[in-house]
Amino acid sequence: MNSARTPFLFGAVVGSGLTAKAADSAGANYLLALNAGRFRVQGASSLTSFLPVRPANDWVMEFAERELLGRCTAPIYAGYSVSDPQIDLDDLIEKTVALGFAGICNFPSVSLIDGRLGALMESEGLGFSREVDLAERATAAGLKTFAYVQTNKQARRMVDAGAGAICVNVGFTSGATGVSTHLTLEAAAARIDRVLDGVPSDIDKLCHGGPITSPEDALTVMRMCSVQGLVAGSTLDKIPLENTLSEVTKGFTAIPNLARRSRRDERGNEALIGGSSVMQQIKEELDALAHDDLPILITGETGTGKSLAASRVHAMGPKAHRKSVVVDCPAVTELDGDVYLLGLGAGARAGSASQRGALEQAADSTLILEDVAALSLGHQGKLLKFVDEGLVQRIGEHSTRAISARVVSTAMSEDVLLAENGLFRHDLYYRLSGHVIELPPLRDRIDDIADLISHFGRKLQGGEEPVFTNAALRVLFEHSWPGNLRELRNAVSRAVRISQGKTIGLKEVEFLNRNRKPEEVPAAIVTASQKPGEVQSERDWIASALARNGFRRAQTAQDLGMTTRTLYNKIKRYGLQE
Amino acid sequence: MQIFCTQVASGGRNKFNKYQCVRLACRGHNSQDVRNIRNLLPIVGIFFLYCGMTQIRMTGHASSRAESASVLYCPSLVGLTAVQADLAIVMPRLDHNRKLRETPCQGRWAAILACDPFGSEAALFRDLASLGYTGLANWPSTILLDGETRQAMSTIPATPEHEYAALARAQDAGWDTLAFFRSLDQAREALSAGLRQLVLHPGLLDADSNANSAMITAALNRLCHAVRTEMPGVEIRLFSSDWHDRFVAADDLSVDGIVRLETGL
């Protein structure tokens, strides 16, 4: 085969008629019938090719004769192991010719076995020298040789033995096979060049394995070294086949979730979108409470839509004609929080005019206290007076003003407010929690995910609903969503952006799998009490995001879909800055 | 010859192994006498069965003779020398477990390829039991793999740990087991899997090992001692052969028995 005629050489390791025909029709230059390929199509690792699990040579001849030979246009090479001292090489060559193979290939090659075992194989005369011997006999019999090598010396010996193609084996294929390699593509290219140094130009030069696991990797390596092509094994069949099977299967298994999808009630606010029974119940509860005057405490993990639920209470109630007042409690600082909450009397501070505080502004409306647990004890005391007696006293004034306002508070959980650490006044808790509604985390209502992503997608695309493959939806269903609706909204936004208007498949939601790698959370901020498999807390979720974003707060806040200030407060609250 | 027999009998009373018997027999004799006595080792082996020590004969040759209780049958070994026997794990020359199942029972013990990714373990155990085997050992074994090969093979998974787990399951199912090991770490893995009959492999030896015979023996003794310290009562046998006899002074090792490789070459 001449490289001038063929700018890129492709060798396909085949283990079945199916793979061989597909590779042949796609233009493969070499078809290598290897026991490794056969093992892969049977669901085992190609590394099994070294084990005494099948008689390698007989097996290759058997499946090649039955499924490959005479059925493909590309030359077919038989992969042989000659480590067995009882093999008669001449007999092997004779059978190869008789069956109609174009040539032989030294695989599984002993050169891949390192350490003392490999050295012992060589010293016993069962190593690479015996493979060279096979190549010489093949050449003498008119067969071609496709030679796997690992060193320059091996390459030269195989050229001397008459090999027409030299393939640098860069090691066992890494990536999805589970094998790890220390080689980068650059290092692999450098090694390939060293091995191929001095190999004549009329010999085809290919490479296989190591970190080269995709056509893109092959292109990168080819640009960096003198190799002309690639041999693909697990990257040709196992990995793509497994991915395809996985995608198709997930497409089918997503059907139960999709079948339950409901278009009901999509006009409501997004926190309450979904037809799951738990959300239906909560919606009914909120709507019933909207016309009541009881203080409401809404709890739930971060991103479950507590603020939106609070807004719904206001919007559905009799005071909806007035604007609600929202107090972001983590943002209420010790320094100016009093003025912000209570307001300022005229002349209370040098040259200051009178000013209404947030509590006063909520008169005849609804006061929504977001993340109320973040209020300082001092501010809690002032709020207690307001909630208890409906009185507000501006800073610098001696008189109080009676204010009537509905109070709706939100918090991560009741436990935070009832903790015995003295950070939250229990008397205030009892006044704020006239009725408690707990919003479920998204992972507990996956039936609603399809409706939610449809809603978010339409908002992002001006009313046009993005199309998700079933497999991509399945990934969304399986994700644990520690950031709940906020995380889902960001994920949909990211997937829509990546897809550029096309169908959203597995690739577009792959970042969700990457993000949930536990090792990304630094050990220093993993709590000792966290048990394996335990649902991730907000603290862990934030810690993980910080680590993922190189501890850059602005970037982390953007990633988590919250303001930098909110993130900073949460970092402080959870002690993550230490 | 008269002295030799006397010493063997004496060894029997004192529960010496056969090598210790030979060493005793050799005392005070010249080198020619020693060679003569060593040539009688197979005969000594017969005595050996009666002196409280156990010897298991490991072979790849299937025989039509009546099965022997002391045989460990390992089809991967056929046609290999003692040195090449260590390479059997990376020689794709047969379907080891299938050969075991298709051959009549050769003795009490069957050596299985415990890391075979194909087939049902339960079916393998059932077939071997129906053939008449009552004991299993892990050979060919991954205990000798090192470097990148070991790391790569672990993804199959083909590791000593995996082999010991298979033996442990066999043990739970009522089988006797022999666990080959080469290092303290591997011994610990085997012990933690609940295995108590171990076979110490002396490691990959080559011609250069001859000069270090004393060191090898000392190291193996140390290893035996460490294993016994960690698990009193554990039975340790030595994997040996004519080839290994050249390097390992087995008579100086505190082992409970021998698994002796018969190559037939």
So what's the pLDDT on residue B210? 64
pLDDT over threshold 70, residue A269: no
**How do residues B105-129 score in pLDDT, each as one tens digit?**
999 999 999 999 999 999 999 999 9
Nearest to A29 by CA among A14, A15, A18: A14
Could B118 and A53 be called an inter-chain contact, meaning their C-beta atoms sit closer than 8 Å? yes
Q: Do A52 and B149 touch (CB under 8 A)?
A: no
Pick from B83, B116, B148: CB nearest A124: B83
Q: Measured between beta carbons, which residues in chain B are less than 8 angstroms from residue A85?
A: 79-81, 84
The mean-pLDDT minimum among A29-33, A67-71, B246-250 falls in B246-250
B92 vs A42, A54, A116: nearest CB: A54
Is B151 an interface residue toward A (CB < 8 Å)? yes
Cβ contact A179–B149 (<8 Å): no
Mean pLDDT check: name the lowest of A429-433, B62-66, B200-204: B62-66
- A37 backbone φψ class: left, alpha, beta (φ>0; ψ -120 to 50): alpha
Query: Would you place residue A271 in the very low, low, confident or very high pLDDT band (cuts 50, 70, 90)?
Result: low
DSSP string, A273-330: ----HHHHHHHHHHHHHHTS---EEEE-STTS-HHHHHHHHHHHSTTTTSPPEEEEGG
- The reply to whether residue B155 touches residue A85, judged by beta carbons under 8 angstroms, is no
Rounded distance between C-alpha atoms, residue A109 and residue A455, angstroms: 56
Which pLDDT score is estimated for A525? 34
Give me the residue label for tokens 């409401």.
A296
- pLDDT for B208 equals 67
Residue B144's pLDDT is: 95
| Arithmetic mean of pLDDT, A33-57 | 94
Highest mean pLDDT among A286-295, A433-442, A553-562, B43-52: A433-442
Mind listing the pLDDT tens digit for each residue in A207-255? Answer: 998 888 878 888 889 889 989 999 988 777 776 777 777 777 767 776 6
pLDDT surpasses 80 at A514: no
Does a cis peptide bond (omega within 30 degrees of 0) precede residue A330? no
Closest residue in chain A to residue B141, using alpha carbons only: A51
B93, B117, B151 member nearest A48 (Cβ): B117
Q: Band of the pLDDT at A535, cuts 50, 70, 90?
A: very low
Residue A7: asked if its preceding bond is cis (omega within 30°), the reply is no
Q: Give yes or no for residue B200 having a pLDDT over 90.
A: yes
pLDDT of res. A415? 82
Lowest-confidence region among A103-112, A209-218, B151-160: A209-218
- Which residue would you say has higher pLDDT here, B163 or B250? B163
- Is residue A521 within 8 A of residue A543, CB to CB? The reply is yes
Give residue-wise pLDDT tens across range A477-508: 888 888 888 889 899 999 998 888 888 888 88
Name the residue with higher pLDDT: A537 or A113. A113
Å between A543 CA and nearest CA of chain B? 32
Residue A408 is classified by DSSP as E
Kindly report, residue by residue over A48-99, the tens digit of the pLDDT. Answer: 999 999 999 999 999 999 999 999 999 999 999 999 999 999 999 999 999 9
Residue A512 pLDDT:
85
Left, alpha or beta for B203 (phi > 0: left; psi -120 to 50: alpha)? left
Please determine, for the modelled complex, whether the ipTM score is greater than 0.95. no
Q: What is the pLDDT of residues B72-82, one digit of tens each?
A: 999 999 999 99
Q: What percent of chain A has pLDDT over 90?
A: 37
* CA B45 from centre of chain: 15
A551: pLDDT strictly greater than 80: no
Range scoring the smallest mean pLDDT among A151-155, A258-262, B136-140: A258-262
Q: Say yes or no for a CB contact (<8 Å) between A117 and B204.
A: yes
Of B86, B140, B153, the CB nearest to A52: B140
Please choose, from the candidates B138, B148, B91, B121, the residue with its C-alpha nearest in 3D space to the C-alpha of residue A35. Answer: B91
Determine the pLDDT at residue B45. Answer: 42
Percent of chain A clearing pLDDT 70 (strictly above): 86
Non-local CB neighbours of A362 within 8 Å, separated by 6+ positions: A324, A325, A403, A405
Who among A44, A56, A126 is closest to B92 (CB)?
A56
Of A55, A118, A120, the CB nearest to B206: A120
Q: In terms of Cα–Cα distance, which of B146, B150, B182, B149 is closest to B164?
A: B182
- Is-contact B87 B142, C-beta < 8 A? no
Task: Report the pLDDT value the prediction gives residue A259, as an integer from 0 to 100.
Answer: 56
CB A376 within 8 A of CB A333: no
- Integer-rounded Cα radius of gyration of chain A: 34
pLDDT of amino acid B28: 41
| A104 in Cβ contact with A78 (< 8 Å) | yes
How far is residue A156 CA from its own chain's centroid? Answer: 44
The distance from CA A273 to its chain's CA centroid, rounded to whole angstroms, is 26
Are A123 and B206 within 8 A, CB to CB? yes
Indicate the SS3 state at residue B259: strand
How do beta strands A435-438 and B135-138 pair? unpaired
Q: Which chain B residues are closer than 8 Å to A45 by Cβ?
A: 117, 155-156
Residues of A in contact with B118 (CB under 8 A): 42, 44, 53
Q: Please list every residue in chain A whose beta carbon sits closer than 8 Å to the beta carbon of residue B91.
A: 52, 81, 83-84
Nearest CA in chain A to B146: A115
Among residues A408, A400, A210, A228, the alpha carbon closest in space to that of A306 is found at A408
A126 with B117: Cβ contact below 8 A = no
Looking only at the bridges linking them, the beta strands covering A343-344 and A355-356 are: antiparallel
The 3 state secondary structure assigned to B80-98 is CCHHHHCCHHHCCCCCHHH
Q: How far apart, in whole angstroms, are the C-alpha atoms of residue A269 and residue A265? A: 9
| Average pLDDT estimate for A520-527 | 35
- Of the partner residues B80, B92, B145, the one whose CB lies closest to the CB of residue A49: B92
Mean predicted confidence (pLDDT) in B212-225:
88
Whether A69 contacts A99, CB under 8 Å? yes
Q: Do B89 and A52 touch (CB under 8 A)?
A: yes
Calculate the average pLDDT of chain A: 84
What pLDDT is attached to residue B207?
A: 67
Window 99-128 of B: residues touching A by CB (8 A cutoff) are 113, 115-118
A126 to B115: CB separation less than 8 angstroms, yes or no: no
Name the band, by pLDDT with cuts 50, 70 and 90, for residue A401.
Answer: confident
Q: How confident is the model at residue B25 (pLDDT cuts 50, 70, 90)?
A: very low
Question: Is the model more confident about A439 or about A566?
Answer: A439
Each residue's pLDDT tens digit, A108-132: 999 999 999 999 999 999 999 999 9
Contact at CB, A172 and B152, closer than 8 angstroms: yes
A280-319: pLDDT as tens digits? 888 888 888 888 888 999 999 888 888 888 988 888 888 8
What is the share, in percent, of chain B residues with pLDDT greater than 70? 76
What would you measure as the largest C-alpha separation in chain B, in angstroms? 58
Tokens (6 digits) for A260: 């339950």
SS3 per-residue string spanning B121-138: HHHHHHHHHHHCCCEEEE
